[in-house]
Amino acid sequence: MRNIYLEKKNHCKLKFIDFCSGIGAGRLGLELSGMTCVAHSEINNDADETYKKFYNDNNNLGDLTQIDPEKIPQCDVLIAGFPCQTFSIVGKRAGFEDERGQIIYYLRNILKQKKIPYFIFENVKGLVNHNKGQTLKAIIELLDDAGYAVAYKVLNSIDYGVPQLRERIYFVGIRKDLYIKRFVFPCSIKQVGIKKFLLSSNSDVLDINHPTFKKYLSNKYNKNRINIEELLEQDYTVIDTRQSDLRVYIDKCPTLRTGRHGILYVRNKKLYKLSGQESLLLQGYTKEFVMKAKNIVNSKLLAQTGNAMTVNVICAIGESLLNYIEENTIDGFGEKRLSNS
């Protein structure tokens, strides 16, 4: 039996909707894998302004909790980085007791009513152990009840072509009538160095003699631990100035964060502040997007990028999903391939 899906592959791309879209890292990842975006949903105005700059897309469906599923475009894939503050280690870990933790129910309703074939969700690693694993179990049961076979796995961005230590849990859902075998997440690739991701300019230099910085280095957590002169001899050393102590990374970056932006790096015996544009690169955005972001306020861009998905990881998952569809269906949307056909 001929494979209709393979014949369609070059001219019939899967369509997706980008929910809880932020600045569209999930969108870029799926577009790079070969899919087409038909709409997005985001309630943060600043993030949506950046999204418009990046994609020239004004088709924002608005507040997810107010959307009528019957009025959204038909799509093949739903992607969402649903709110993670309620499950994060650094947050209050309220989970389903927090209003933001209820977004998963609205996503479930859209999936169920629209009978969308596939979905990709992302959240913080803290979700795995939240409420002793009961929250994760409840989410899987919720999606199972909606008619989906769900696979999940914690992946680290540093294993997918960016030098950022960023562990997140990813879910892939396959509508049960399309499900044949277990979905396999993409394999990791060789880790890359940080040099090409750093743009450093004179305006980003940190004054190591500034009284505030010197006081920070001499506090009870850092005193006698850090020799700043020695660090300045090591190009591409990354320094994470946390609230009290500081942490050092060699040729890689810690997790980019929404709330705190005190990441520094060494180049040519100077300390540079990591910029929003560099953060974009560390999340897998191309230099084309860095140019589009050049007029965005740096603090806003840092916050938005810290809240984004990693493009490379989503692209890899998208490619794995397309491979799954190719291997297990005839048309990619419903008719299962017969064995030995």
Task: List b or e across 130-151, with b for residues whose CB sees 16 or more CB atoms inside 10 angstroms.
Answer: bbeeebbeebbeebeebbbbbb
Tokens of 332: 């990619």
How far is residue 252's CA from residue 95's CA, in Å, rounded to a whole number?
31
Q: Which amino acid is at 46?
A: D
Nearest in space to 75 (alpha carbons), one of 96, 61, 94: 61
How far is residue 285's CA from residue 311's CA, in Å, rounded to a whole number?
7
Tokens of 227: 């020799």
Cβ atoms of 123 and 168 within 8 Å: the answer is yes
With 0-12 CB in 10 A as exposed, 13-18 as middle and 19+ as buried, what is 238? Answer: buried
DSSP-derived secondary structure for 41-72? E---HHHHHHHHHHH----B---GGG--GGGS
β-bridge pairing 77-80 and 148-156? unpaired
Nearest in space to 247 (alpha carbons), one of 268, 263, 266, 229: 263
Tokens of 33: 């894998």
Measured at the alpha carbon of residue 22, what is the angle toward residues 277 and 72, in degrees to the nearest 5? 145
Beta bridge partners of 333: none
Measured at the alpha carbon of residue 336, what is the angle toward residues 335 and 338, in degrees to the nearest 5? 125
Residues that are catalytic:
84
